[in-house]
Structure 1
Amino acid sequence: MIQLGVYNKLPILRDTSVGLYLGDINNEEQQILLPNKYVPETFEIGDVLEVFCYLDHEERPVATTLEPFVVLNSFALLKVIQVTEIGAFLDWGLEKHLFVPFREQARKMVEGKWYVVYLYLDETSGRLVGSSKTNNFISNEELTIEKLDEVDLIVSRFTDLGVEVIINQKHKGLVYNNEIFEDLSLGEKRRGVIKKIREDHKIDVSFQQLGYKNIEPSSQKVLEFLKRNNSFLGLHDKSTPEDIEAILGMSKKSFKKSIGYLYKLKIIEIKENGIYLLNTQA
């Protein structure tokens, strides 16, 4: 079945003067035109092509080999090309611009500016439509992530508290200002880690630091030891390298980085007599 707004893998049915027809040979309603300008130099009937499907200027389904900046049910940062009496038109990488009606604009769009937009299929008109009312398309009611998960993030809004981010194209989170150490831009895509999930399902996020990936095995070793030993480890940053090697089998440098990482995520508490696993750790 041909789906608008996504990539489809479709067989070539026939070659015509206007292009190739792709789809289901037994169902004309499931056939779509790939215009001549997108036809590959060499092909055979029956070859399967991967194409993006949407509606052309005359509202007819059409296939293209161009790559859009956003696909169905996802977010992207797009630029407004034109504003008319019916809404705004955004560049999404295809010949026909993406329409965002006024009712789907969080605030009135301005030509030349960029906005984080969600692409959805309007069930009434059957058209692909954009919306900058991003909160309508994300929810924290049923979470699909857990604490310490690494996630994909999109910067969606700047607030007094910090930066709001879209998590895995599904949820909303916040990175606090005191944990941001570089300039960010609207729509920027980053990797991050889930720092905390509150009782009301608000999510604290931390931008993933590149160096942390290198110490994850050591951090995991510390956590496993704490869980096996009543949430206590009798080591600290002043412990000797020999003691650390004997108990954990790692260097003091790796140990200090590991506990620093766990402490920053508020998983452990460091006291004079050792390290304690906090009850918030799942």
Structure 2
Amino acid sequence: MENYLPGDITTLVVKRVIETGYVLTASDREALEVLMHENEAGENKLVEGDEVEVYLYHDKQKQLIATTTLPHITTDVFDWAEVTEVKPGLGVFVDIGTSKHVLVSYDDLPEHMSAWPTIGDMLYVTLKHDKNNRLLADPVTEADFEGNWDLATDELFNQDIAGRVFRSGKEGAVVITDDGYRGFIHHSERKREPRIGEWVEGRVIKVKPDGSLNMSLLPRKQEAQEVDAEKLYNYMSAHDGMMPFTNKTDPELLRATFDMSKAAFKRAIGKLLKDRLIILEEDRIILANSENSPS
């Protein structure tokens, strides 16, 4: 005798028609009764004895419910699912293509909520049952992809690349790129730990012999120099056209104030000097067009 569980796709028979929809049963289990609401039955009107392919799920009362809307994710099929709700202490819910969204348990999410997905992020999941036969969505692991990665070529070195994060931790994050490559982002190549399910854009800093990639989410030096220079210029504009920092300033103070290394600070100052936007003094830097600049 077959056990019918949430997450199953099966064929049932209309046992009787009721005001709100249909009661379904199985040919091998006449005692089984599964409710299917009229709005879950599709466009066709059913009559007693009709066979119908349905997806089963539990409602809030743990009653088994049927729908003719079939999910694009099953216990045997992985696919991307959009995060629709975040519940601290419980997990996140994802849309698998049916009206009933499915929980990804906090046990299968990163320890720190800062790395949890947010609404609109996408998780690559399949379905599973816990020990109480509760239906859950189960995120992909690297073992599930073993041998299925596309192999990157050397021509990708230093190219822009984007993808979706599916594992994130202190050491780094693993990405499925939009071309099906495995990308690894070391913690030193990012400014913050990315969320799982987050879409990230970076660049290839190494193509490894096994065909996987090392990625960086940090801007190229030239791009970073322009961003940092603008940050310093805006700081001085907001502080009477000056800042009490120079190339001799303590690196930790520069990092705390501008979130940049001393080397990055020097490069940014060099660009501002080259563009003739600042004047260096012994204990400060001023904007060339500010009231503080020499006449």
Task: Please report the TM-score for the alignment, with normalisation by the length of structure 1.
Answer: 0.49
Normalising to structure 2: TM-score of the pair?
A: 0.47
Structure with higher Rg: it is 2
